Structure 1
Amino acid sequence: MVKRLMDMCLGCIAQNLHVISNVGKHLPTLHKEKILQWVVNHNMLTTEYLPHVTYHLFSPALRSISFVDCDQITDKLLIQLDDCKCVLESITIDGCKVTDIGVTALLSHQDELQTLVLENISELTGTGLEVLRSRKLKDVHFSGIQITNESLIALVTRNPTISRLDIGCCGKLTHEVIPAIAVTLANELENLNLQKIRTIENNDLVVLSQHCKNLEGIDLFGCSEITSAGLRALSKECTKLQLLDISFCYSLLQSSSKEFLTELPLSLKTLVLSGLRLDGGDIHTAVSRLPTLETLILCGKNFITEEHAIKIFETVGPQLICLCIRGHRQIITDDILGLIVKNCTSLEKIHLGTHMMLTGESLRVLFRDQERSRNLTQLRLFGCKYLNHDILLDMSKSCVNLTELNMAGVKCVDDTLLFSIANHMPHLKHISLGAFVGLATNQVTDNGVVELTRCCPLESISLSGIHSITDKSIFALANNCPDLKNLFIACCSKVTTQATNYLQDVCNDKLYVYHRLPNADPNLVMAKNLDTGEFCRVDQTKWSMW
């Protein structure tokens, strides 16, 4: 993989706005937006450079902005952006140091806005949202902000066209906002995320079901007060509901009969049951009623016997596209995995993991079936440390359409396997290879990682705990993976900060690097090897004395 010529040109312009005469007058809007994104991603909004950015790139023609994890984004910059009189269709501000002052200024004139994303802004209370009036607003995503009930009610009242509302993890919100949401948005509302709003009650779900007949997805993760009565209302009135997440809704288990299992909406395509203590019989009771179920997510301390597994997967297996089973070791065995492989013939995504004592022998049938293997796009085997090497080799040769592969904690992963993956998976974007629970692994070396970077269009890679990895892998990522967005290399003591800084500089997008060295010497001295170009630890290098 190499950097595209277009990306190289945009990066060059972004770094030379101060020397290219009138460059802003010659750039179309799309390229202005991409160059502005590049400048933000590479933290170039310095005091000296900011005037050139605002002069050349801020214009009334701007339609989309995305400011993510950039401390240089301030209220002053948002005010300057509003001053250019741009009419935005999409706004994303995530992890930036802004307040209600800047957000108010930016949103006050955005009457064409369609998408608004505000996340991880600790000083944002939401008062700035009360000025927004857009006749086209459809998607609203809030998370990690201190928005109040009053501000959210004002937002939905002034923008009744919202169809997707994500307000999960907003700590100050309570269930009192639900009636306003339900009555105001009514049939417009299609997707609602109420994750971790712990005061949500059955009456709130009743109100939603009475007014929001077109609801297609609802996330109730952690809403621990709801019981079967609330689900019964949704099932009866929201006949289009396709996604339901009731993870960690503990009150559902208060009845010994677990009535909620027979109250699930029949229209469901995606069911998430994480964190609920269910046995195989409970799970079979739930899924046997769902004729259109395609995605089943079971994460937590469940117990499934082989007898129950036969009933579950003979009933629902043929229609499943995504199956996620993660939790403690008693949840699944090789025999049960064999039943999954036998019955779930249409799977595109398989997620297994965390302390499962699996050899993976049952997967051999799947990996040797060319048609079924080609259907797989995601395979997560996180923590399945006893998987056999030859079975994973079969996987690497047959699952040629994988875009995501997680083998973190699998003991047998080595360079041979990585070379096979590199040579057979041209679409792989996300891969995890790191050690598990703090245990180091040295079977993977720079050679395997370099081959992956050469052949796969990687966007995310985890190498945490692989102590043999050095700067060579980081420089290979810099040379071959320009679209990399996430790098996890905790405990990789031979990787230097200088190398990761260089990688961040050359990637197209903002690169998140997790590089923690808990036992690193604070006085560690690094030096560059002039023969190889690599940065090395002085205490681990033999220096020739002349």
Structure 2
Amino acid sequence: MKGADLINARVPADLLACIFLRIAGCKSDCDAFSLVCRRWLAIDRRFRLTIRIGSSGTADQLLALLVHRFSGLRNVFIDERLPVSSIRQMVSPSSRSRQARKKRRVSPSSEGHHLTKNNEFEESESELFSLTDAGLSSLADGCKLLEKISLIWCSNVTSLGLQSIAMNCKFLKSLDLQGCYIGDQGLIAIGQNCKLQDLNLRFCDGLTDKGLIGLSQHCGRSLKSLGISACAWITDVSLESVAYHCLGLETLSLDSEIITNRGLISVGLGCRALKALKLQCINIADEALEAVGSLCSSLELLALCSFQRFTDRGLSAIGNGCRRLKDLTLTDCYYISDIGLESVARGCTMLTRLEIDGCHHIETFGVETIGRSCPDLLELALLYCPRISNSALLEISRGCSHLQSLDLVDCTNIDDGALCSIARGCSSLKKLHIRRCYQVGDQGIISVGQNCKTLKDLSLRFCDRVGDEALVAIGGGCSLQHLNVSGCHLITDVGITAIARGCPELISLDISVLQNLGDIALAELGDGCRMLKDIVLSHSHLITDIGLARLVNGCRRLETCHMVYCPSVTSSGIATIIACCPGLKKLLVEKWKVSERTKRRASSILSYLCVGL
């Protein structure tokens, strides 16, 4: 019957709550749920588990208001880099109208006095105040079931606020204090009152060894993950305490100029259950890696960044001792060569992901051994590896038939032959990113289109031999969701038309720096790619307002658009985009192209090109 509420009349609140908990992971769905009626709004407020807010502006008042409304919060993420709306803007329209009526009833003699006070309030409100201990205290008092708190660059929060969290939130399991000037006493209080499992300390200048030692002594048995980065007063002494008390530690991330072999060796001796290790420490050398390799046999992930004192000797120890290793990242490890990589390949046959970035002494032979020895490899990234040639990818195609992701950057010796072998041998490929590989052309990409039917993500940035024939093959054989052909100057309307007609599920597209692309391509995209959300059109000289109108009339879901250095686009085209795309979140243009009316209508989503730097 029209107008009847059939859901609320028959569905009990418990069942509605179960439905809400099913969608609780998606904020947009939760927001839509809460707008149906007052009953559903009450359910949302009771069972909402997660909020993410900024902490600049009137952050304490905002947090107190949110805590009052959402009593069942479990996860709170607060980031000072994000702005928040003023509390006055959150007041309901009815209360605003009541305030307006009160102002109209003020006598003329007192009107000036009220205006002065109002101006003073607005001036004080316009100042920016970071989250303080008072805000944290209100959070602790109102949400005693909190399990995860993330405080990003909340520089005015001190140990006092953290102590209030520790005293009230006994179920706290995860704490992120990036950029917070928290003292030792606050961290010790967390250790004394909470069974913390995950702790991230990044740019915490107020912490010393005393704080971390105190925490590890009290909650060492529960701690599973620890991250320390750029903490100038945390030394090897802290790691020795962690090694002694945190025997169940599984994940350790270190970025420090102070920590040495001594600290990491102690972790290897004490934390035998370690599964993930990420290191960026200039004073750690082969001795520490040898200890990890011989003692931490359960290691599954290892990331080594900017190691100048680390050689094949340390990596060989990892290969010989960590047989369960699945994920290896080597970034700017100048003294690693094929010898170390061969040891990993022969010892760690369960490897599923390998990233080599800027290790110029790793050549073809090392990658070949990976292809021969690691049949379960799913992801391979070769970044800035000019000495790796075609035969390396040939071995990968022969031995790693389950490969799903391949990333090549500045691999100048890789050509179409290598890509053809990958396409034929790794038909399950879902992601292919190639950048500045100048010998790759149409032939290799055509083979990918013919063989890799599950490909979803393709990037061919500045591969200047790739043209329309390659995109025609891709459009005919793959249903892409992401495509980037920036700088492929041989591509014209023909290639993009093939993509528009063959890839209706396309979500993001970068067709910048294409000098031969015009309005025909944009019209085809508008007709065929209705799900498009992100597009980059910069440096496209032939695109005009007419093409933009055809694009946005079809792609109404656009959220971001970059279109600088498009000389044939005018303020009329900019206004058309704003008018046709209600969900637009960011539009990057030149400031002089935006009319005053458009600025008033959409100032919050406009971003301007910085040309004065």
Cross-structure match for 2:448: 340
Counterpart residue identity of residue 458, structure 2: I
Counterpart residue identity of residue 514, structure 2: V
User: Normalising by structure 1, what TM-score?
Assistant: 0.71
Cα distance per residue 1:107-163 (max 9 Å; x no partner): 9266545555566x58575679646565665444456x5462355555666655442
Instruction: Show structure 2 runs of 5+ residues with no match.
Output: 1-26, 36-44, 46-50, 86-126, 182-202
Cross-structure match for 2:137: 55
Query: What is the CA-CA distance between 1:241 and the residue it aligns to?
Result: 0.9
Aligned mates of 2:444, 2:248 — CA distance in 1:
49
Equivalent positions of 1:447-458 (< 5 A) are 454-456=556-558, 458=559
Counterpart residue identity of residue 320, structure 1: L
2:277 equivalent to 1:182: no
Instruction: Show structure 1 runs of 5+ residues with no match.
Output: 507-512, 521-546
2:349 equivalent to 1:349: no
Change (3 A) 1:26 1:363: closer
Query: What is the CA-CA distance between 1:204 and the residue it aligns to?
Result: 0.9
Cross-structure match for 2:611: 518
The answer on whether the counterparts of 2:471 and 2:496 sit within 8 Å (CA) in structure 1 is: no
Equivalent positions of 1:73-152 (< 5 A) are 73-74=154-155, 76-77=157-158, 80-85=161-166, 86=169, 88-94=172-178, 98-102=203-207, 105=211, 108=215, 112-116=222-226, 121=230, 130=239, 137-141=249-253, 146=257, 148-149=259-260, 150-152=262-264
Cα distance per residue 1:251-288 (max 9 Å; x no partner): 234xxxx5324422333222223323334345324543
Aligned mates of 2:258, 2:580 — CA distance in 1:
39
Change (3 A) 1:502 1:448: same
Cross-structure match for 2:492: 388
2:78 equivalent to 1:42: no
Higher normalized contact order (CA 8 Å, seq sep 6+, divided by chain length) = 1
The answer on whether the counterparts of 1:295 and 1:320 sit within 8 Å (CA) in structure 2 is: yes
Equivalent positions of 1:290-309 (< 5 A) are 290-304=400-414
Aligned mates of 2:449, 2:367 — CA distance in 1:
25
User: Highest CA radius of gyration, 1 or 2?
Assistant: 2
User: Normalising by structure 2, what TM-score?
Assistant: 0.64
Counterpart residue identity of residue 240, structure 1: M
Aligned mates of 2:82, 2:306 — CA distance in 1:
31
Change (3 A) 1:18 1:449: farther
Aligned mates of 2:235, 2:541 — CA distance in 1:
45
The answer to which of 394-403 and 192-201 deviates more is: 394-403
What secondary structure sits across from 1:352 in the alignment?
A: strand
What secondary structure sits across from 1:288 in the alignment?
A: helix
Change (3 A) 1:51 1:366: same
Counterpart residue identity of residue 37, structure 1: I
Change (3 A) 1:319 1:19: closer
Query: May I ask how many residue pairs the two structures share in their alignment?
Result: 485
Change (3 A) 1:447 1:345: closer
Query: What is the CA-CA distance between 1:19 and the residue it aligns to?
Result: 8.3
Equivalent positions of 1:290-329 (< 5 A) are 290-304=400-414, 310=420, 312-313=421-422, 315-329=424-438
Aligned mates of 2:458, 2:543 — CA distance in 1:
27
Counterpart residue identity of residue 611, structure 2: P
Q: Could you say which structure has the higher helix fraction?
A: 2
Counterpart residue identity of residue 136, structure 2: T
2:336 equivalent to 1:226: yes
Query: What is the CA-CA distance between 1:171 and the residue it aligns to?
Result: 4.8
Cα distance per residue 1:4-60 (max 9 Å; x no partner): 6739997999968638988636633536x44x5377632689547635522322355
Cross-structure match for 1:191: 301
Change (3 A) 1:214 1:75: farther
Equivalent positions of 1:267-282 (< 5 A) are 267=375, 268-274=377-383, 275-282=385-392
The answer on whether the counterparts of 1:405 and 1:431 sit within 8 Å (CA) in structure 2 is: yes
2:31 equivalent to 1:6: yes
Equivalent positions of 1:450-489 (< 5 A) are 454-456=556-558, 458=559, 462-466=562-566, 468=569, 480-481=583-584, 489=588
Q: Could you tell me the percent identity over the aligned residues?
A: 17
What secondary structure sits across from 1:198 in the alignment?
A: coil
| Aligned-pair Cα RMSD in Å | 4.7
Aligned mates of 1:37, 1:478 — CA distance in 2:
30
